[in-house]
Structure 1
């Protein structure tokens, strides 16, 4: 792993970008949402989306999905790669990828959740990416693209720059069922957000990011796809968030404790934990139960980090990951976590 990953050059309006399904082929399940996402991508960026054979193919093999990724990274006309969504088996795709292709022509990759696998793989090749922005979830559904998603999407793909990560003030855990026509015109149920919680010393930290969906981080470590020396994260910023599987706070704490035993928590200078989803189509909770769910994860996150690294700056509740509106954050790029001013900045350049 390169200590300073390369942040790939930006695209320009009119450039071609690959739209791929490295995990679940959501466009094959809900094509209307996908097609609205593609129209919006063109409208807000001026980029030209290019689909590949497995973008809409449900049940495509890991080898076929990897072949599409390799083809996109090898094509000099493709200037960025966007995942349609996550899933749960991308770990089987990674062994089929060609590292020489991404090293020869680094391109921005955007995705989250199961795409933690691919982002970690790119990071180990010395190429930075961006955590967030899956088209099927963040661009296609609802009446419009959220402001914070649009700002960070354009920064990641086109403009670069340094943006303050702000709180949009409302959040949803999931949207309308994609099979419902209202999914194209209405958001999910949104509620006001709580202020972020800060812990640790009052200092400002700037470091390169690593991490992602904590369940997938656990898989990556189990598969041995992380450098043996945790010092590669020295001075960095650890990003952690949880998926729609809604793991309880206790399980979050067990995984975080394992990261501590592995030496990863001691290596970083800051830990940023996202606002977690607390409900799903299958699991409904009252507002009070949702607030308690988030508070329990917040408390165990802070306690566990401070047990292994009392000098780390910790902020919990930021809007990235599996809730919406969603900020896209650098992965391998620089983020500043300022506990003095209680502000967070992301560098997309």
Structure 2
């Protein structure tokens, strides 16, 4: 197999897909995001649908690992029909991957959907999802990275609260599984804040995940967010929720700082940043300096774009391609404190 296209090369195709939709569909879908629709909670013994809405799983052992993780949660895994399909770097053709999502939302025996991995491909299936079906059969769906497109698309079109949380192949250690259970089984309203990393537990000071306040203050609004590259690739489409008065969190991986600058500039020029009530930037894992002369730091780029907004904002949140993966509700009202570095749910995210 040849070299896999980069996220930047692939993400440019997302806008092209939206452009193929009939104008009336695009226009009507730009309306205000529906009221929040909470999914039913998980119970021990429930069946979880294992899906591959983006990148292909080339090693069948990966599916076995995910199924073991689901069993470890006290749940029953059921692989989707196309979960091991392959179409180049994708887990099958777009319509087939979408059909798996639609089928599991329609099946009353399936109580939640868990993707094996991200990679790339979720934006391609958004036009083929049955949003009326999803709205009528609300269920838990979780994921991060490329799954950002699927989560935000579903939330924008249906109002369903989705969850920026673990993919199947994440670590599933106690510091991840416990909040996952508290949010999705118990319906608790959690407050999220940066953990003390292991290397800092015997130090007099915290060195990793230090809260970096851009503008102090507190804010309240619906929480949305995810991967910056993915979000910038679907801005202007009907698959981005109404961000007026929202709290937006962003993260990324493997991007040079100038590309982070470029994508934040895109959000600025599209009017996204000016709508927000609060802003949080998580981790930019393996995001090196831009190189050449006069390179900006991530802190400088974030300050340039976010400080002029005058809204509560902070960065270096423990959100992104780092363990543990938090379970954050998208489309639910939260409060944030930019000085303390906290995001607090105001209510449970499930019924």
TM superposition score category, shorter chain reference: 0.7 to 0.9
Pairing of 1:171-250 with structure 2 (within 5 A)? 193-202=208-217, 204-221=218-235, 223=237, 225-226=239-240, 232-243=242-253, 246-250=254-258
Does the residue aligned with 1:165 lie in a helix, a strand or coil? strand
Q: Distance in 1 between the 2:146 and 2:252 partners?
A: 11
1:164 aligns with 2:174: no
The Cα offsets for residues 151-191 of structure 1, whole Å up to 9 and x where unpaired, read as 2321343112122223233399xxxxxxxxxxxxxxxxxx9
2:76 aligns with 48
Q: Distance in 1 between the 2:99 and 2:244 partners?
A: 34
69-78 vs 248-257, which moves further: 248-257
Q: Distance in 2 between the 1:171 and 1:331 partners?
A: 29
Paired residue for 1:146, among 163, 168, 173? 173
Judging changes above 3 Å, is the alpha-carbon distance between structure 1 residues 93 and 270 closer, same or farther for their aligned structure 2 residues? same
1:296 aligns with 297
Say if 1:130 and 1:156, in contact at 8 Å, map to a contact too.
Answer: no
Q: Distance in 1 between the 2:198 and 2:168 partners?
A: 18
Judging changes above 3 Å, is the alpha-carbon distance between structure 1 residues 225 and 2 closer, same or farther for their aligned structure 2 residues? closer
Q: Distance in 2 between the 1:66 and 1:97 partners?
A: 6
Does the residue aligned with 1:159 lie in a helix, a strand or coil? coil
1:186 aligns with none
Does the residue aligned with 1:40 lie in a helix, a strand or coil? helix
Q: Distance in 2 between the 1:127 and 1:168 partners?
A: 29
The Cα offsets for residues 37-60 of structure 1, whole Å up to 9 and x where unpaired, read as 32232223x111110112122221
Say if 1:320 and 1:328, in contact at 8 Å, map to a contact too.
Answer: no
Say if 1:302 and 1:314, in contact at 8 Å, map to a contact too.
Answer: no
- Deviation of the 1:98 alpha carbon: 0.6
1:10 aligns with 2:41: yes
**Alignment length, in residue pairs?**
301
Judging changes above 3 Å, is the alpha-carbon distance between structure 1 residues 165 and 225 closer, same or farther for their aligned structure 2 residues? closer
Pairing of 1:1-349 with structure 2 (within 5 A)? 1-26=32-57, 29-44=58-73, 46-59=74-87, 60-124=92-156, 125-136=158-169, 138-139=170-171, 145-170=172-197, 193-202=208-217, 204-221=218-235, 223=237, 225-226=239-240, 232-243=242-253, 246-278=254-286, 296-307=297-308, 309-310=309-310, 312-339=311-338, 341-346=340-345, 348-349=348-349
Q: Distance in 1 between the 2:105 and 2:246 partners?
A: 27
Judging changes above 3 Å, is the alpha-carbon distance between structure 1 residues 344 and 91 closer, same or farther for their aligned structure 2 residues? closer
Gaps of 5+ in 2: 1-31, 200-205, 291-295
TM-score of the two chains, using structure 1 as the length reference:
0.79
Q: Distance in 2 between the 1:326 and 1:226 partners?
A: 22
Q: Distance in 1 between the 2:97 and 2:342 partners?
A: 39
Say if 1:171 and 1:192, in contact at 8 Å, map to a contact too.
Answer: no
Gaps of 5+ in 1: 140-144, 173-190, 280-284, 290-294
Judging changes above 3 Å, is the alpha-carbon distance between structure 1 residues 2 and 249 closer, same or farther for their aligned structure 2 residues? same
Say if 1:274 and 1:316, in contact at 8 Å, map to a contact too.
Answer: yes
- Deviation of the 1:213 alpha carbon: 0.7
Judging changes above 3 Å, is the alpha-carbon distance between structure 1 residues 303 and 147 closer, same or farther for their aligned structure 2 residues? farther
Q: Distance in 2 between the 1:9 and 1:247 partners?
A: 37
Q: Distance in 2 between the 1:22 and 1:192 partners?
A: 37
1:178 aligns with none
